[in-house]
């Protein structure tokens, strides 16, 4: 079982991050997710052909190559169709998202939860701040000038900085999980070791989301982290990190951002639904039904479509670092 050793825990606590190799099997754990997303792309292509936007289905290409060509040809992006969460504003009754059974099985993978339990303890809650990112080659990105963090580079930030202050004292573990090999060329993650020791750093809102200005962090100490599919990156909620650009012409870096914490602590995003992923004390509370997980999100989408946008962001841009 992939539980962390004492040495691994020591490194995680000291450095603020830890790469754990081969937690998941690409064939048995990750491929079902890729197959599920491939089926979504089938439906997207059917719709584009019916609209007359596409004349070519690219059906003989592997999933990620096909996605690249479809995005480039249609000059559209479909990140929300794959994402496992909702946007922070403008949610409608039909806002696209994906809450399929293969994704749920990955969220509750027992080997993955064994590793997570080493950090957060035996009562494990799946925090609802979660995304899938399909970082495309630049030739396939057509945003109309509007930034899309699900397909483009993510700037320096702390995960603590993108949730509400209610979660500042919670123990929220970030699990970054590549579905494809993440390389220096296609945009792997990079971290600043020991940056979690300084507390919460000012973030500045802007056209590309909230970010930490590079002038107030030790960017020269950053460390890129190429990783194989099946490995995971663990980070504390205050570890400063970002991603590199995808400078390839033909690769897609596909990854999950997942977060877990001890059950009962605030998630920092109360408008979104989490669930008990593992419980030693009360195993009957564990959510084991993927349809029930999907229903949590569908009900949330309906509720948000009826209401005003809830508060998601703590930053107003008035910090000296934002001047």
pLDDT of residue 181: 98
Which residues are 259's β-sheet partners? 127, 174
Q: How many residues does the chain have?
A: 323
DSSP annotation of 41 reads H
- Sort strands 123-135 and 223-225 into parallel, antiparallel or unpaired: unpaired
Cα–Cα distance measured from residue 205 to residue 254, given in angstroms and rounded to the nearest whole number? 25
Residue 321, class by beta-carbon neighbours within 10 Å (0-12 exposed, 13-18 middle, 19+ buried)? Answer: middle
pLDDT of residue 311: 83
pLDDT of residue 144: 82
pLDDT per 10-residue tile (average), the chain, 323 residues? 89 98 97 98 97 95 97 95 95 97 98 98 97 96 88 94 94 98 98 95 90 94 98 98 96 97 97 97 97 98 93 88 88
Query: Which residues contact residue 39 at a Cβ distance below 8 angstroms, ignoring those fewer than 6 apart?
Result: none
Cα–Cα distance measured from residue 10 to residue 155, given in angstroms and rounded to the nearest whole number? 27
Phi and psi at 292, nearest 5°, equal -70, -40
Contact call for residues 85 and 130 (beta carbons, < 8 A): yes
CATH of 7-27+79-307, one of 3.90.79.10, 2.60.120.620, 1.10.3720.10, 3.40.710.10: 2.60.120.620
Query: Which residues contact residue 218 at a Cβ distance below 8 angstroms, ignoring those fewer than 6 apart?
Result: 192, 195
């Amino acid at each position: 079982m992939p539980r962390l050793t004492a040495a691994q825990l020591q490194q995680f606590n000291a450095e603020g991050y830890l790469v754990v190799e081969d937690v998941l099997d690409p064939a048995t754990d990750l491929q079902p997710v890729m197959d599920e997303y491939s089926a979504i792309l089938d439906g997207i292509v059917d719709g584009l052909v019916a609209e007359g936007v596409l004349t070519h289905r690219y059906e003989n290409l592997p999933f990620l190559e096909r996605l690249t060509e479809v995005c480039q040809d249609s000059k559209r992006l479909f990140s929300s169709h794959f994402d496992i969460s909702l946007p922070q504003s403008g949610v409608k009754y039909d806002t696209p998202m994906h809450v399929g059974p293969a994704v749920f099985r990955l969220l509750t993978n027992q080997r993955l939860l064994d590793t997570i339990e080493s950090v957060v303890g035996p009562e494990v809650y799946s925090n609802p701040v979660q995304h899938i990112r399909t970082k495309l080659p630049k030739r396939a990105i057509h945003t109309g000038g509007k930034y899309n963090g699900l397909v483009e580079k993510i700037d320096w930030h702390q995960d603590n900085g993108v949730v509400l202050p209610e979660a500042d004292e919670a123990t929220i573990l970030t699990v970054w999980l590549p579905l494809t090999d993440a390389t220096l060329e296609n945009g792997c993650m990079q971290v600043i070791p020991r940056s979690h020791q300084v507390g919460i750093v000012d973030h500045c809102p802007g056209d590309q989301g909230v970010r930490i200005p590079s002038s107030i962090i030790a960017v020269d100490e950053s460390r890129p982290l190429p990783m194989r599919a099946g490995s995971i990156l663990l980070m504390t909620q205050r570890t400063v990190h970002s991603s590199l650009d995808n400078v390839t012409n033909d690769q897609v870096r596909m990854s999950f951002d997942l977060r877990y914490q001890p059950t009962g602590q605030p998630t920092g995003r109360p408008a979104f639904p989490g669930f008990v992923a593992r419980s030693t004390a009360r195993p009957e509370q564990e959510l084991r039904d993927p349809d029930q997980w999907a229903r949590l999100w569908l009900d949330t989408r309906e509720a948000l479509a009826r209401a005003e946008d809830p508060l998601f962001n703590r930053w107003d841009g008035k910090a000296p670092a934002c001047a």
